[in-house]
Amino acid sequence: WKKLYLAHHWPVTVCKMSDHDCQDPPEYWTIHGLWPDKTEECNRTWHFNVTEIKDLMSDMRRYWPDVLHSSLNRTQFWKHEWEKHGTCAATLPVLNSQKKYFGKALELYQHIDLNSCLLKAGIKPSSSYYQMTAIKEALTRFYGVTPKIQCLPPEEGEKAQTIGQIEFCFTKELQLRNCTALKGDSDPMQADLKLGTEELSVCSDTLPTYYPSQVQ
């Protein structure tokens, strides 16, 4: 693989996409995963073991919660992320154990600090709409790279898309890079986002964009 995606999702939108038991989703961006492009389930015998990340637990619960299943002892989400993506990321020495993989993802999340960047740019959850180009410009200005932003397309009768996921891309040296696909790169991440019947797709630059503050 060539690059890593650090995917943040917006819990309110995740809840909107699904009929699970979302209770009081966090009102800040949380981690969806740290994904190498192109590969999945690289080592099916390397099973998730939650005791390896017990030191990270309070940060994991806070910043990488299972938004859809709110009971605290849910480790299913982390198990899925490790087995599907972590076992592939582990070809890098800095990510070659569960503790390193989850710990590094948390570190990158803190480093990116998306929540405060958006606030500084005056972009906060609201019932009015944003222009997608304004959100993109703010992020690009702040980070110096182009992230990948995904939205829920408008439902019937709606005119706005709903922001759902923001992904930052990193080189194998864990330096930020643009997410734009290079010629010949496939987009492996589409399949990861089926939740219920609705799915996220790359946001349209022309549709008004809703950044919801609570589940409707």
Q: Would you please indicate which residues are annotated as catalytic (active-site) residues?
A: 32, 81, 85
Token duo for residue 170: 């990193």
| DSSP conformational letter for 134 | H
> Residue 191: which residues within 8 A CB-CB, separation 6 or more?
none
The single-letter code of the amino acid at 159 is K
Q: What are the residues facing 166 on neighbouring strands?
A: 8, 149
Q: In whole angstroms, what is the distance from residue 29 CA to residue 160 CA?
A: 20
- Cβ atoms of 112 and 7 within 8 Å: the answer is no
* Stretch (H or E) spanning 150: strand 148-152
Q: In whole angstroms, what is the distance from residue 74 CA to residue 91 CA?
A: 27
- Backbone φ, ψ for residue 9 (5° rounding): -120, 155
The single-letter code of the amino acid at 205 is D
